[in-house]
Amino acid sequence: MDLGLSGQVAVVTGASRGIGLAIVRALAAEHVQVVAGARGTSKDLDELAGTGLVRTVTADLATAEGPARLIGAAGDRIDILVNNVGGAAVRTSGFLEITDEEWERTLNLNLMATVRTTRAALPRMLAAGRGSIVNICSVNSILPDPVVIDYCASKAAVANFSKALSKEVGGQGIRVNTVSPGPVTTDLWMGESGVAASLAQAGGMAAEDVVDAAARNSVTGRFTRPDEVADAVLLLASDRSGNTTGADITIDGGLITTW
C-alpha cells in the first residue's frame, strides 16, 4: 500500500531508541525527511542519519526550551509530528513514597514535552492548512497500575489533551490521534533498569518471569514489537486515514478486553 508520504517532513521526539527509533526508520523507508529529536544519539540513529533522509537534533525535551529548539531546527515545513518521548519509573514502595519532584518529573516528560512540542509545531501546520499529529500514549491511560501510578496519570492526560486538541484544529486541516501500546519489547520494559528488572528485584524473582507473566495477560501471549507501533503511526500520519482524528489505536495483543 502506497501511503503517499514521500517528500513530506516529519519531526519525531524520543527518536534514538525503542519506539521512536522504529518510527524514524519506518518514515525514512517511505522517503520522508525526518528530523529526529533526542537528548542523545545512538548507533542505530546515526546509521539512519547516514542515509540522508534523517537529521538528528540533540535537545532535552524535558526542558522548557528543548521542544522549541527541536521545532526551530526543522524549518518552516512540518507535515507530521510524532510525540513519542516519555518514560516510566516503577514505584515499588507505594504512592506515599512518591515525592512532588518525582510527580513533576514524570508529568514534565510525558505530558509537557508533548504539549510544548505541539505548541511549537502547530503554527506551521495551521499556516499550511494541513498536518498530522500522532501522540504515543499507553494502555495505562485507561488501565491504572499503582506501580506506575504517575506514569498512568500522565498518559491519561496525554489522551485527554490529544482528544481536546483534535476538536479545536480538526476543521483547519490538522488531525490529532494517539497510539496506545501495551508492553513493548523496548528498554522501558526490558532494559537493565526497566519495568521487568525493577519488579523482579522488588519481588525476588527473575526478570524473565516478570516478562512471561505480563505477556500471558495478552490474548496473543507476547509483547508488541516497536515496528508494529511504527506501522500504526505511519497509517495515522498518512492521508490513507484522512478522516480519522481524535482516535486512538490500541496495540496490546488483546490485553484490554472490550466488547
- Determine the residue type at 76: D
237, 209: one domain: no
148, 188: one domain: no
What's the total number of domains in the chain? 2
Please report the pLDDT score of residue 259 as a whole number.
57
Domain range enclosing 231? 9-182+225-251
- Determine the residue type at 209: D
Which residues, other chains included, contact 169 with Cβ-Cβ below 8 Å and sequence gap of 6+? 122, 125, 126, 176
User: How many residues belong to the chain?
Assistant: 259
| DSSP calls for 4-25 | --TT-EEEEES-SSHHHHHHHH
| DSSP calls for 120-176 | HHHHHHHHHT-EEEEEE--GGGTS--GGGHHHHHHHHHHHHHHHHHHHHHGGGTEEE
Q: Which of 162, 127, 187, 172 is nearest to 246 (CA)?
A: 162
131, 50: one domain: yes
Please report the pLDDT score of residue 187 as a whole number.
80
Which residues, other chains included, contact 2 with Cβ-Cβ below 8 Å and sequence gap of 6+? none
193, 164: one domain: no
Structural domain contains residue 149: yes
CA 48/CA 232 separation, integer angstroms:
20
Structural domain contains residue 106: yes
How would you write the pLDDT of the chain (259 residues) with one tens digit per residue? 789 999 999 999 999 999 999 999 999 999 999 999 999 999 999 999 999 999 999 999 999 999 999 999 999 999 999 999 999 999 989 999 999 999 999 999 999 999 999 999 999 999 999 999 999 999 999 999 999 999 999 999 999 999 999 999 999 999 999 999 999 998 887 777 778 787 878 778 788 877 888 889 999 999 999 999 999 999 999 999 999 999 999 999 999 987 5
158, 140: one domain: yes
Structural domain contains residue 63: yes
199, 129: one domain: no
pTM of the predicted protein model: 0.95
51, 142: one domain: yes
Structural domain contains residue 117: yes
The CA R_g of the chain, rounded to the nearest whole Å, is 18
Structural domain contains residue 70: yes
Structural domain contains residue 259: no
Active-site residues: which are they?
151
Q: Which of 113, 162, 105 is nearest to 14 (CA)?
A: 113
Do 250 and 11 touch, CB atoms closer than 8 A? no
Structural domain contains residue 256: no
50, 125: one domain: yes
CA 202/CA 198 separation, integer angstroms:
6
Which helix (DSSP H) or strand (DSSP E) does residue 89 occupy? none
Which residues, other chains included, contact 127 with Cβ-Cβ below 8 Å and sequence gap of 6+? none
166, 91: one domain: yes
User: What CATH number should be reported for the domain holding residue 139?
Assistant: 3.40.50.720
56, 111: one domain: yes
Structural domain contains residue 258: no
Please report the pLDDT score of residue 214 as a whole number.
83
111, 213: one domain: no
20, 148: one domain: yes
